[in-house]
Chain A
Amino acid sequence: MRKSKGQSATLNTFGPGAQAAFHAVLGLFALLCIVPFVFVIIISFTSEDSIRQIGYSFTPLSWSTQAYTYVFQLGGALWRSYFNSFLITFVGTSLSVIICILYSYPLYRRDFRYRGFFNFLSFFTMIFGGGLVPTFVVCKTLLGLSDNYAALIVPMLFSPFNVIVMRTFFQTTVPRELIEASTIDGAGEYRTLIQVVLPVVKPGIATIALLNALAFWNEWFLSLLYLTKNMDVMPLQYLLMRMQRNADFLAKNAGMLGADAAKAARNLPSQSLKMALVVFIVVPIACAYPFFQRYVVAGLTIGSVKG
């Protein structure tokens, strides 16, 4: 279709005033998203003296790279936990995406006899959880999930929410005709899934992969529960969270602990160090976003049957 100048100005567009207003609103929103992160970076480069005197500020009294020097001095422990975070996220995301696809695909196929049952089985766990202690007992005593990588990955492998998202995605983007056509062409179940269906649902896969990657990357509670003696498998998030929780605890119990709390508070890491660790945590996942984003946006607009 040939577009004339006159058409493009009237079709699906707004006048310049409205344009400007939308840009202003969206720009403001984008700014609101980015400002906290910029603030964190500024604080991580702020000197302790400045924080002590005027608190957090966009324009600190003096700058310092002390927090980063300290982070690099943490050495082995830091890089180890950084590596753990990557490993857990990579393995966890890959496995959970595979599991999610393999579970939701049959739920989409109408010719699968036990659809209702398996649908219910997964949906049920969204409403009724086992509770903290029973889950802990099952994971630790029954499955032996403690002090190992598995403890930080296995409990999060299956997400009913993602299954529902994925099933719905199958239903809306993969027409039944596609399955029938590949069956007629002689493809078996595995070939149908891997070569015919999966390429169509790439955007869906990217979406749940992103959700899973975020969940694994930000996870610290599992470490708190299941890591007791072997701290070598600890992810970076838990390292940071532990500092934060220590500080919170001492703040809350200062009255009870008295001089002990004051002594312990001396050993707490500085504010700028915490922010430096936040930077370490946020940067990789922020870098991963654009790659996923392409598919996520694509998922909103495409379908498999054209025309």
Chain B
Amino acid sequence: MKKLFALILAVAMILTVANFALAEDLPVITIMFHGSNVTDDTAVLEAVNAYIADKVGAKLEVVWGTWGDFDEKATNALTSGDSSIDMVFTCSWSSDEYNTYAKKGYFVKLDDLIAEYGADLVAAIPESLMQAATIEGAEGMGIYAVNGFKDTATQNTWDVNVTLLEELGYTLDDFKAMSFYDFGDLFAKAKEVKGDSFYPFLVEPMVLERMVTGSIIVAGDSGATNLLSLYLNQEDVSAEGPYGNVLLNKFATEEYRKFVEQMHIYYEAGYIDPSLAVAETSNDTRTNAQKSGEYLIGTQSYALGYEHQASEERGIHVEFVPCTAPYVDTTASQGAMMAISTASEHPVESFKFLALLNSDPYLMTLMNYGVEGIHYTLNADGLVEFTDERANYSPWTNGMGNVTILPDTAAEGAGFREAFKAYYAEAKAIPSLGFVFNNEEVTNEMAALGTVAAQYALALDAGALDPETALPEFLAALDDAGMQTYLDAANAQLAAYMAAK
């Protein structure tokens, strides 16, 4: 027994020594992504590590966070000071919310690193994105994450099944001339032609509400169900809206009442699938109906070029008809960022890597699309065509950083990235860009309000509840839960922000 024990100890010691001998290699930096679908990254990491060994002086490892597990993994790694995670995805809507976590000191302030190593990065990313990332963090005003250059503007559109629309005897121009309040005849016709079990209006109720009333998401507002509305100026998004820079109780406005009343009419007429009004089934129903092209009009938060992909996938002709001009708000301009954890032992190497990833087309293509010859091939026109191997390596493209330096894919067509850049470069910023509601002082109210809103909002937005009776009930319940306190706190902060701006 003693001999065995001694033997184990001896082996353990030898292993430890061997470990130290290996550790003289390059330092390992680890990056954690969001929304990945990656099962085999061996070939990619081999190529990446061969490429960055000299340029960055480190070896890369990747944690491929998925949509479902990223929030837990990221918040645990950051709050526990886990030094094995160096770089982590952050944004205005994830659990490791950029503004909050920067304020709490989980992210390294990058200004000095940018000054020293970031010349290429600064050249590759528009000034406006750098500004959007400049916030008041734990170490004062500065940049706490590298902001990804992607579809940085929000634009809500009608998702139109043109194939069916034309079958019904309408043209796309006819549709463009209609407003939300005159869809009735169109839906009635669709119902007549396609039968009673067909639901023409396939909506994302909460998105539709913003589209119709012309309001936007306020960064820092209650997540699952937004409570606050900021009304846009529909003519010119960079000008003040009808109510000025004031946040409103989303459900108490005249616009909202008018919207839900109309929705209830559509719902009662059988134009909307009842399962869209239930949180658990809403998304599945929508995805399924979209996949099979079983709808007439839907809603879509737009990204340039999506109509080609949607048409191809659904086997119908899809067009997206804009509801508003694209606008840049805080949510969109902090939509995908990459921060360095303060627990990291290699912040310099990590930053060098992020700078390279966002400015070097070869590295970005490798990380995002995989290895040429394995995950994709280039066709005669030099466009990317994915192979079957891509299924094992599909990171979330927009979550990685500067996607404008990626090559065009065959599905997107030549010149897509240039058009993409130009499209979003033209987008105007809303007056209160950069404002994030810091809800720390009203977390109790927010939780209570969120519960109340979860009970009514979706069903009202989808038209399933009669606003005549449900809306007053809802508003009273919100008042009881402290809506006014919540609203006052948000407006005081916005006023202070606008004054400082």
Interface residues of A (CB under 8 A from B): 51-52, 55, 77, 132-134, 136-137, 140-141, 146, 224-225, 228-229, 231, 241-260, 262-268, 271
Known: A137-B81, A228-B32, A264-B396. 8 other contacts (CB 8 A): A132-B76, A137-B82, A245-B67, A249-B67, A249-B71, A253-B67, A262-B306, A268-B287
Could you tell me which residues of chain B, from 264 to 322, have a CB within 8 Å of some CB in chain A?
A: 275, 279, 282-284, 287-292, 294, 300-303, 306, 309-310, 313
Q: In the bound complex, do residue A77 and residue B39 qualify as a contact, i.e. CB atoms below 8 Å apart?
A: yes
Q: Which of B35, B61, B306, B396 contacts A259 (CB 8 A)?
A: B306
User: Is B56's CB within 8 Å of the partner chain A?
Assistant: no
Q: Which of B32, B151, B224, B331 sits near A252, CB closer than 8 Å?
A: B224
Q: How far is the CA of A137 from the CA of B81 in the complex (A)?
A: 8
In the complex, chain A residues whose CB is within 8 Å of the CB of B301:
255, 257-259
Q: Does B103 contact A (CB under 8 A)?
A: no
Q: Which 3 A-B pairs have the closest CB atoms?
A: A245-B68, A258-B301, A251-B283
Instruction: Give chain B nearest CB distance to A221 CB in angstroms.
Output: 9
Classify the interface of chain A: helix, strand, loop or mixed: helix
Q: How far is the CB of B257 from chain A (nearest CB, A)?
A: 21
Report the nearest A residue to B159, measured CB to CB: A262
Q: How far is the CA of A252 from the CA of B290 in the complex (A)?
A: 18
Give the residue name and chain of the A residue nearest to B65 (CB): A228
Contacts A140-B80, A246-B67; is A229 near B61 (CB within 8 Å)? Answer: yes
- Contact call A231/B66, Cβ cutoff below 8 A: no
Instruction: Contacts A52-B288, A141-B82, A262-B300 given; indicate if A255 touches B67 (C-beta within 8 A).
Output: no
Q: Are B69 and A245 in contact (CB under 8 A)?
A: yes
Q: Name 21 interchain pairs, CB-CB below 8 A, sorted by A.
A: A55-B275, A136-B76, A136-B80, A224-B69, A228-B32, A229-B30, A246-B66, A252-B224, A253-B67, A253-B93, A254-B207, A256-B331, A257-B93, A258-B300, A258-B301, A259-B300, A260-B35, A262-B287, A263-B306, A266-B291, A267-B37
Q: Which of B61, B72, B82, B284 contacts A224 (CB 8 A)?
A: B72
Does B246 reach chain A (CB closer than 8 Å)? no
| Cβ B37 vs Cβ A52 within 8 A | no
Smallest Cβ distance from B485 to chain A, in angstroms?
A: 25
Given contacts A246-B67, A255-B207, A259-B301, whether A133 and B80 have CB atoms under 8 Å apart is yes
CB-CB under 8 A from B84, the residues of chain A are 146
Given the interface pairs A255-B217, A260-B396, the reply to whether A52 lies near B291 with Cβ below 8 Å is yes
Q: Does B96 contact A (CB under 8 A)?
A: no
Chain B residue contacts of A250, Cβ below 8 A: 67, 283
In contact, B39 and A231 (Cβ under 8 angstroms): yes
Which residues of A lie under 8 Å from residue B68 when comparing CB positions?
Answer: 241-249
**Nearest CB of chain A from residue B80's CB, rounded to whole Å:** 5
A208 to B480 alpha-carbon distance, docked (Å): 47
Which chain A positions have C-beta within 8 A of B313? 266
Give the shortest distance, in Å, between B222 (CB) and chain A (any CB). 12
Q: How far is the CB of B37 from chain A (nearest CB, A)?
A: 6
Q: How far apart sit A262 and B37, CA to CA, in the bound complex (Å)? A: 15
Nearest CB on A from B307, distance (A): 10
- B190-247 contacts to A, CB under 8 A, are 204, 206-207, 217, 223-224
Whether a CB of chain A sits under 8 angstroms from the CB of B493 is no
Contacts of B81 in A (CB 8 A): 137
Max count, chain B CB within 10 A of own CB: residue among A55, A228, A248? A228
Closest to B394 in A: A267
Q: CA A241 – CA B84 in complex, angstroms?
A: 25
Q: A52-B291, A224-B73, A245-B67 are in contact. Are A251 and B282 (CB under 8 A)?
A: yes
Residue of A nearest to B307 (CB): A259
Q: Say which residue of A140, A246, A255 sits within 8 Å of B204 (CB atoms).
A: A255
Q: Is there a chain A Cβ closer than 8 Å to B414's Cβ?
A: no
- B23 to nearest A CB, angstroms? 16
Counting chain B CB atoms within 10 Å of each CB, the highest count among A141, A257, A271 belongs to A257
Q: How far is the CA of A254 from the CA of B223 in the complex (A)?
A: 12
Does B398 lie at the interface of the complex (its beta carbon under 8 Å from any beta carbon of A)? yes
Q: Is the CB of B309 within 8 A of A225?
A: no
- Which A residues touch B396, using CB under 8 A? 260, 264
* Residue on A nearest B281 in the bound complex, by CB: A55
User: Smallest CB–CB gap between A290 and chain B, Å?
Assistant: 34
Query: Which one, B63, B151, B217, B394, contacts A229 given CB within 8 A?
Result: B63
In the bound complex, what is the Cα–Cα distance between A258 and B304 (angstroms)? Answer: 11
B204 touches A228 (CB 8 A): no
User: Does B387 belong to the interface (CB within 8 Å)?
Assistant: no
Taking the nearest CB of chain A, how far is it from the CB of B155, in angstroms?
9
Q: Are the C-beta atoms of B93 and A256 separated by less than 8 Å?
A: yes
- For A141, give its contact among B73, B80, B207, B306 (CB under 8 Å): B80
Interface check B131, CB cutoff 8 A: no
B292 touches A228 (CB 8 A): no
Contact call B398/A137, Cβ cutoff below 8 A: no
Within 8 A of A (CB), among B38-88: 39, 61-63, 66-69, 71-73, 76, 79-82, 84
Closest to A55 in B: B275
Bound form: Cα–Cα A140–B73 in Å: 12
Check if B37 sits within 8 Å of A255, measured CB to CB: no
**Cα–Cα, bound, A231→B73 (Å):** 14
B residues less than 8 Å from A134 (CB atoms): 80
**A133 to B93, Cβ gap below 8 A?**
no
Q: Is B154 an interface residue (CB 8 A)?
A: yes
Is A225 within 8 A of B76, CB to CB? yes
For A267, list chain B residues within 8 Å (CB).
37, 394
Cα distance A140–B77 in the bound complex, in angstroms = 10
Distance between Cα atoms of A288 and B345 in the complex (Å): 48
Q: Which residues of A contact B62 (CB under 8 A)?
A: 229
A248: nearest chain-B partner, CB-CB: B68
**Least Cβ–Cβ distance between B76 and chain A, in angstroms:** 5
Q: Closest CB-CB distance, A223 to chain B, in whole Å? A: 9
Q: Is the CB of A256 within 8 A of B284?
A: no
Nearest A residue (CB) for B210? A255
Residue of A with least CB distance to B206: A255
By a CB distance below 8 angstroms, the chain A residues around B63 are 228-229
Contacting pair B217 A256 (CB below 8 A): yes
